[in-house]
Structure 1
Amino acid sequence: MSEREIQAAIDEIADALHTGASLDDLTGRLVAYSAQHGRADDARVRALLNREVPEDIREWESRHGTGTAVEPLIVRANRDLKMEARICVPLIHRGVRTGLLYVIDPLVEEHPDRVAATVDIIRVQVDLLAAVLYEMASPHLDERHQREVEFFAACQGEPAALASVAAWAGLRSTLSLRLAVSIFTTGSDVTEVSETQAAQVRLASQQTVSRYPSVIAGAVQDTHSVVLLRPDNEANAALHLHQRLASASGAGRPGDNRRERLYTGVAENLRSADELPEAYRRAVIAAQTAAVEPESGTIASWETIGPYRLIATRMRTDGTVSDLLESLIGADTTGDLVGTLEVFYDKGDNVQAVADTLHLHRTSLYYRINKIRDILGVDPLNGATRLELHLALKARRWNRRPRI
């Protein structure tokens, strides 16, 4: 599609809405505007004269979320900038943000329902412009999309995809690669992520993965991403990628009160495309472990998740794993005893470390252990009983993992 046809689409939008409309790319460059249709405020005139959005106007628009928006939103009026209220419509094609359409509407602040009505009227033109800007952005986008699809299919074990990825990714046995899976969740289950959040995470992940130099191949789904990392680019590539993804997706950090979280699992020593399905399975398990096990932090590797390797691959955890643990849970009305026992096991009987973690006096800690002993009728710190209870506590955590 030519620039003349883009202009025609913008003019159709302006005609249909009887107001001014303009199209910006993601760098702030003005792509097209409705020169002969509707109104244009002083802020938009400045952009027209410069052929790009002035910095103060971009900053105001960004305050309203235009930098990461995946759904239409309202940009409020600003008298100082001589800027009327407007509707911002993100243009998205194949999960990639390609530009921003702005429609001036002085009434939208008082009547926010006008947003949905406006988008319904111009939906055809919006979809068309999104696809056009996608095609104009880079001749390699289609190839990148196809490779993403093939890579994820290879992680699922499809033979044709495995062969194709091996060819274009240049995988050879002399390399030792890392596969990282990052899961975004707002609770114990990724199904709690709303459609809007999923779209925002996908877009943030797409932009991060596509620009990260250590990535050989990547695939971004609505609630998780999977990437194949070079072995020789940087020692902490998985950690750095996790940090970038967390920042771009707006995930909370340990200690804050945000529910959104990003967890990453890593599988290492991958040497051929045939190992992709197993590496993907292991990286998913490691990411799920990070989501339920505080001891692991927000990023975990398959090699370091200990009992969860056994629990995830060898145990059925959908029923009662341990009668002993069930009896303790039944008698523990506050949950303090169960929590104390797990921390005690995790800290290797280091009484001071347990007391510090739980903010308890050592005397209170000994009291709880004795109370657990009385409830169970056996010593929870003794051999086989300890092993059973510790494994059952981890299996209980595993049942809370986010499913993907």
Structure 2
Amino acid sequence: MLDELQQLVDDLATELQRSVAVDDVAIQLLAASAHYGAIDPPRIDSVLARRADAAIVAHVRTFGIDHAVDPVHIPDSAELRTLPRIAVPLRDGSDLYGFLWLIDADPPVTPSELTMATKGARAITELLRHNAAELDDLQAQDTPLLAGLFGDDRDRRDAALAAVTGPDRLGAGASLRIAAIRFRDGDDDTAEAARHAVTRSVALRQLIGPALVAPVGGYLAVVSRAGPRPPSAAWRERFWSTARAAEPALAVGLADQLPGESPAASFARAAYAADVAQRVGEFDGFACWSELGAWQLLFGLPWTPETALELHPPLAPLLRPEHRLLATTLLTYLDSGGDAAATVAALHIHRTTLYYRMDKIRDLVGSSWSTGTGRLGAHAALVLATRLAPSS
């Protein structure tokens, strides 16, 4: 589909002798022509990054492009370094598939050129509509496959795995990369629209390649071939920004299948990573299992004060509200790998203050937290207790 889209964009640009770009509904770049005439830095940046800057996305949306039926003229912005633009909605009735963009400068777009662009937009809309229908059909096939792949029935699981790793899907011998996308609480219609937006995201599939996408147990599962491990920072950032652009209100957890691990176990780890990403602010909505750190130790456990105490009972006195400062100090020390200098820097305190607090901690709970498995349990207990504590 992308090759056909690129050809339509190139043909229209040649006809107009103007640069043409096509974005999806999330304003993620799908195709761009060679440059003709005036160009601005944001256009160049979007071609290189395959997505527009968030500030520019917010700016153009203020002109009502998401609900427009006819072309929308957007003035230049000195602050954003943008030239005037025209957004032609790629719309079929109530369904919006994206936008066709023209730079409206040097010289401005003429009425006849806009007529040609609108005609070209109709052909592009039809291509995107057809592709969306194919993706909807694929999801209908993916839903029973992933239900079997992650289910308890061994025969169904084996049959689903054979189909998923067959030549028509991910390919023989594929090791799986599983993303679990969790939508924040809302009404059923909103959640369904959110799942629909991500499922139809051409930019997301452009990034990850062949994939199976379907709802699984309250999440939207995205199953693709595993790439380099761990995934690069650039890949993770692009996956997150692309998925979030399709539907902002979500959290993503990512897990690569381990050798000998069942797909169901891999999905469970990805789903847990999504839960952590949604509930723990430091992850900002996206978490790889491999980067959860001490949160891995809480996998499968309820997030309750009782669990925190059970993980390391000697810490009980430290977990009382009146000792929150000491608990935060010990958690920061453990997060810093026992490095006093790093702890001092993180807490913005003097080294002697740290030593004073550590002595107080030892007086209160002893030193069972300082070695071996005791340190693991104490770290997990403090992570959970700090998360559960009310904000001061």
TM-score (normalised: structure 2): 0.54
Task: Give the whole-Å Cα distance in 1 for the aligned partners of 2:255 and 2:74.
Answer: 51
1:343 Cα deviation from its structure 2 partner: 1.2
Query: Which consecutive unaligned segments of at least 5 residues does structure 2 have?
Result: 1-21, 26-56, 76-83, 100-125
Q: Identify the residue that residue 279 of structure 1 maps to in structure 2.
A: 266
Q: Identify the residue that residue 228 of structure 1 maps to in structure 2.
A: 223
**Identical-residue share of aligned pairs (%):** 20
Q: Identify the residue that residue 344 of structure 1 maps to in structure 2.
A: 333
Q: Identify the residue that residue 320 of structure 2 maps to in structure 1.
A: 330
Cα 1:89–1:62 shift into 2, 3 Å: farther
Q: What amino acid is aligned across from residue 246 of structure 1 in structure 2?
A: W
Q: Identify the residue that residue 320 of structure 1 maps to in structure 2.
A: 306
Contact 1:264 1:290 in 2 (8 A): yes
Task: Give the whole-Å Cα distance in 2 for the aligned partners of 1:391 and 1:347.
Answer: 14
Q: Identify the residue that residue 35 of structure 1 maps to in structure 2.
A: none
Query: Which consecutive unaligned segments of at least 5 residues does structure 1 have?
Result: 1-24, 29-58, 101-131, 252-258
Task: Give the whole-Å Cα distance in 2 for the aligned partners of 1:240 and 1:203.
Answer: 23
Aligned-residue CA RMSD in angstroms? 5.1
Q: Identify the residue that residue 356 of structure 1 maps to in structure 2.
A: 345
Q: Identify the residue that residue 300 of structure 1 maps to in structure 2.
A: 288
Q: Identify the residue that residue 177 of structure 2 maps to in structure 1.
A: 179
Task: Give the whole-Å Cα distance in 2 for the aligned partners of 1:380 and 1:298.
Answer: 33
Contact 2:326 2:357 in 1 (8 A): yes
Q: Identify the residue that residue 162 of structure 2 maps to in structure 1.
A: 166
1:309 Cα deviation from its structure 2 partner: 4.3
Larger radius of gyration between Structure 1 and Structure 2: 1
Task: Give the whole-Å Cα distance in 1 for the aligned partners of 2:187 and 2:63.
Answer: 19
Task: Give the whole-Å Cα distance in 2 for the aligned partners of 1:161 and 1:144.
Answer: 19
1:399 Cα deviation from its structure 2 partner: 6.7
3-state secondary structure, aligned to 1:360:
coil
Work out whether 1:248 is the aligned partner of 2:251.
Answer: no
Contact 2:204 2:243 in 1 (8 A): no
Cα 1:364–1:163 shift into 2, 3 Å: same
Cα 1:66–1:353 shift into 2, 3 Å: same
The partner residue of 2:141 within 125, 147, 164 is 147
Cα 1:202–1:243 shift into 2, 3 Å: farther
Task: Give the whole-Å Cα distance in 2 for the aligned partners of 1:148 and 1:385.
Answer: 44
Q: What are the superposed Cα offsets for residues 317-362 of structure 1, whole Å, 9 maximum, x if unpaired?
A: 54523254443232436x3222111111122221001111122211
* Higher helix content, 1 or 2: 2
Q: Identify the residue that residue 78 of structure 2 maps to in structure 1.
A: none
Work out whether 1:379 is the aligned partner of 2:382.
Answer: no
1:279 Cα deviation from its structure 2 partner: 1.5
Task: Give the whole-Å Cα distance in 1 for the aligned partners of 2:350 and 2:58.
Answer: 53
- 1:4-403 equivalences under 5 Å are 62-64=60-62, 91-92=94-95, 98=97, 136-137=130-131, 140-157=134-151, 159=153, 160=156, 163-164=159-160, 166-167=162-163, 169-170=165-166, 175-183=173-181, 190-191=184-185, 196=190, 199-200=193-194, 202-204=196-198, 206-207=200-201, 208-219=203-214, 224-231=219-226, 240=234, 242-250=236-244, 262-269=251-258, 275-290=262-277, 292=280, 294=282, 298-302=286-290, 305=292, 308-313=295-300, 315=301, 317-321=303-307, 322=309, 323-332=313-322, 335-374=324-363, 376-379=364-367, 381-383=369-371, 386-396=375-385
3-state secondary structure, aligned to 1:167:
helix
3-state secondary structure, aligned to 2:367:
coil
Task: Give the whole-Å Cα distance in 2 for the aligned partners of 1:382 and 1:210.
Answer: 46
Q: Identify the residue that residue 110 of structure 2 maps to in structure 1.
A: none
Contact 2:344 2:350 in 1 (8 A): yes
Task: Give the whole-Å Cα distance in 1 for the aligned partners of 2:337 and 2:361.
Answer: 17
Task: Give the whole-Å Cα distance in 1 for the aligned partners of 2:160 and 2:64.
Answer: 38
Q: What amino acid is aligned across from residue 150 of structure 2 in structure 1?
A: Q
Q: What amino acid is aligned across from residue 327 of structure 1 in structure 2?
A: P
Q: What amino acid is aligned across from residue 300 of structure 1 in structure 2?
A: C
Cα 1:75–1:349 shift into 2, 3 Å: farther
1:201 Cα deviation from its structure 2 partner: 6.8
Q: What are the superposed Cα offsets for residues 99-141 of structure 1, whole Å, 9 maximum, x if unpaired?
A: 79xxxxxxxxxxxxxxxxxxxxxxxxxxxxxxx9987446634
Q: What amino acid is aligned across from residue 265 of structure 2 in structure 1?
A: E
